[in-house]
Amino acid sequence: MKYRSVFDIIGPVMIGPSSSHTAGAARIGRAARHLFGREPNYANIHLYGSFAQTYKGHGTDVAIIGGLLDYDTDDTRIGTALETARNHGMNVQFFEEDAVTDHPNTARIKIGDENDELELVGISIGGGKAEITELNGFELRLSGSHPAILLIHNDRYGAIASATTILASHEINIGRMEVSRKGEGEQALMVIEVDQNVDDSLLSELERADHITQVARISD
C-alpha cells in the first residue's frame, strides 16, 4: 500500500478517541453537509457493523452530527455537536442496524429540509479517511480528500463534453472522474475530483450546461 504522507499512517489531527469511528465519521457527515449545501432540518442516521455496536463510546454519533454542522475533524465543538444541532432545531435520530454490510464501519445518512432530501452511504476506511459509496441511489467512490464536483445529468451524448469543456476553460485540472447511470437514457451522475476548490460562478456555469440538471460540490 502506498501512502501520500505520514498522516495517512498515523491519522489526521482530530478530536478522539478513534480515527476510524470519530474522524472518519465526521468526514462522512461533512461530505453529506457539503453535498446538501446547507444545514439540514433533520438527520436520520443508520449505523451498521462496529459503528452500530460502539458509536456512543467512540463518539461516532457526535462526529457525524459535527460533520453535518460543517465541523472539521479537529474542531473541539464536536463534543457538543448533538446539543448544538438540537438547539438549531435539527431533528436527529440514530438507528442501530443488524444487516451485514461490505464494510464494518458503515453509515447511511438521510438528511433534508422542506425543500429537498439527500441520502448517502459512507464508510470509514481507517486513519481518519472515509469514502462515499452511494448517493441518492447512485453507486460511486468518492474519497472526500480532494475537492469534487458532482453533476446529475440526463444520460445523453454531449453531457460529459459540455462539463469538461467548461472546466478546461477555467484551467481546472481533473484528477479523477467517474460516471454512473440508473439505466440507458435515464438519470446519470458524474463525479469529478479536481485539484482546487471551485467558486460559485463556475458551478452556475455548469448548471447551465447542456443536459446538466443538478450541481453539488465538496470543498477540501
Q: What pLDDT digit, counting tens, does each position of 28-41 carry?
A: 999 999 999 899 99
Q: What pLDDT digit, counting tens, does each position of 44-91 carry?
A: 999 999 898 888 888 899 999 999 999 998 899 999 999 999 999 999
Q: How many residues does the chain have?
A: 220
77 three-state secondary structure:
helix
Q: What pLDDT digit, counting tens, does each position of 158-203 carry?
A: 999 999 999 999 999 999 999 998 889 899 999 999 999 999 999 9
Residue 194 exposure: Cα atoms within 13 Å on the Cβ side:
22
Whether 48 contacts 97, CB under 8 Å? yes
pTM for the complete prediction?
0.81
pLDDT band with cut points at 50, 70 and 90 for residue 2: very low
